[in-house]
Amino acid sequence: MKRIKAKIVEHKKLAPAIYSIWLQAGVIAGIIKPGQFVMLTLDECFEPFLARPLSVADTNRDKLRLIYRVVGKGTRLLQDKKTGESLYVLGPLGKPVKPVKNKKIVLCAGGLGIAPLLFLAKKLSKNNKLTLYFGARTKRELILLDEFMPLCEKISLATDDGSQGKKGLVTDLLIKQLIPNPQPPTTIIFAAGPLPMLQKISNFQFPISNLKLFGFLEERMGCGCGICFGCGVKKKDNGYVRTCTDGPVFDLNEIEL
């Protein structure tokens, strides 16, 4: 784990209140893997005080890409940062997703959950067959589709307002399309998005034996590296795990959401 000063090399708007930022992040960009995240601090004045966690959406040699939605103080200040300015990046944090081969990979993204799935899709598409289910509030928030197209055999879309794809929830689309068709026993679902989406997928009884089901959790966190215990999640058997050091990607059969 390193903390570095990272220069912004590109910062652009993808949709209303949604931005993509490429950072010159040296050694962190070189070693970070899908599933891991970084903590961002905007400057040395500690404003806002706590660093903010963001997933990695992509890397390219010494560059790191983050995609974020403006929701509060930290992300509002981040959106004003210009190309050439610097940020402080702590990482890599969390556990990487274990690489797999010859599987059917089903990616299910809700909103900004699409960001960490892009990095994962780029890695897994070399040795696996990928399908993407992606739901957003509206057509303009169905970001990154052109980047997923070469990586996935099939893409199914849903929007809350019906402006593109099926009107309604992506979870309904996933369940409706996946269930009636026999799935290979090697199917793995990776889901990333808001908690209700993960809860719905986690609680659904998929008629596929030994289905592997992983979720990217976005618990609020303080330190990002296991010290503050602010991001604890209850395990189904007993005890707690920390989203930052034991996750943020968990087997959804093992934790309580």
Kindly give, in sequence order, each residue whose CB lies less than 8 Å from that of residue 38, ignoring residues fewer than 6 positions away.
25, 28, 32, 53, 54, 56, 64, 66, 89, 90, 91, 92, 93
Q: Which CB sits closer to ligand FAD, 116 or 165? A: 116
Phi/psi of residue 149, each to 5°? -55, -50
Using CB under 6 A as the binding rule, whether residue 92 contacts ligand FAD is answered as no
Stretch that binds ligand FAD, among 7-15, 61-69, 99-107, 153-161 (CB under 6 A): 61-69
Whether the Cβ atoms of residue 168 and residue 137 lie closer than 8 Å to each other = no
Stretch that binds ligand FAD, among 118-126, 151-159, 196-204, 216-224 (CB under 6 A): 216-224
Using CB under 6 A as the binding rule, whether residue 48 contacts ligand FAD is answered as yes
Smallest distance from ligand FAD to CB 25, Å: 15
Task: Work out which of 6, 25, 54, 109 binds ligand FAD, going by CB under 6 A.
Answer: 54
Using CB under 6 A as the binding rule, whether residue 115 contacts ligand FAD is answered as yes
Smallest distance from ligand FAD to CB 196, Å: 11
Q: Which CB sits closer to ligand FAD, 196 or 207? A: 196
Using CB under 6 A as the binding rule, whether residue 59 contacts ligand FAD is answered as no
Strand bridging mode 212-216 / 187-192: parallel
Using CB under 6 A as the binding rule, whether residue 22 contacts ligand FAD is answered as no
Q: Which CB sits closer to ligand FAD, 9 or 50? A: 50
CA distance linking residue 76 with residue 253, whole number of Å: 36
User: What are the tokens at 17?
Assistant: 């209140």
> In the complex, which residues of this chain contact ligand FAD (CB under 6 A)?
37, 48, 52-55, 67-69, 71-75, 112, 115-116, 218-221, 248
